[in-house]
Amino acid sequence: MTAHILMIEDDKEMVTLGKLILEREGYVVSFAYNGEDGLKFIAENKDNIDLLLLDIMLPNIYGWEILEQVKADEATRHIPVIMLTARHYLEDEGETSKYADLFSDYVVKPFVVRDLLNKIATVLEAKTTTVDN
């Protein structure tokens, strides 16, 4: 089965690059350019999303807030999340520790393609292993 990845990212060039890379690897990719559209997409497709790539710095709704909403909802908490950040460290350490149990991993932009793909594969494999056990 092909994994479906939702990317919530406001940088259109990053979405284009991410979509190209991920589709080339055989993933089905959907995207939203802001948190509102991302949350709406998740609500409408909660059973069909295998992984969420979530930017932290989004307009209107901060990525941490989206993460919190996704993980607080019984219907969507099963979706693993990889956070995306443009900083060389994962934002504010206080926020990182507050939300650490809610996300699976993070990627610093600009990312090394192989690193991103390895993290995605690891998270999806862990999800499959958890479901199978």
What pLDDT score was predicted for residue 86?
81
Structure confidence at residue 47 (pLDDT)? 94
Q: Are 44 and 18 spatial neighbours (Cβ–Cβ below 8 Å)?
A: no
Domain segments of the chain as ranges: 4-132
Distance in Å from the first CA to the final CA of the chain: 18
pLDDT tens digit at each of 133 positions of the chain: 699 999 999 999 999 999 999 999 999 999 999 999 999 999 999 999 999 999 999 988 999 999 999 999 999 999 999 999 886 655 555 666 788 899 999 898 888 899 999 999 999 999 877 655 4
CA pseudo-torsion sign 12, 89, 69, 54: positive
What per-residue confidence (pLDDT) applies to 90? Answer: 55
pLDDT of residue 45: 97
Please report the pLDDT score of residue 17 as a whole number.
93
- Provide the β-strand partners of residue 71: none
Q: Cα separation of 79 and 90, whole Å? A: 20
Structure-token pair, residue 69: 């909403």
Q: Which CATH number fits domain 4-132: 3.10.20.600, 3.40.50.2300, 3.40.1390.10, 3.30.70.100?
A: 3.40.50.2300
State which amino acid sits at residue 113.
Answer: V
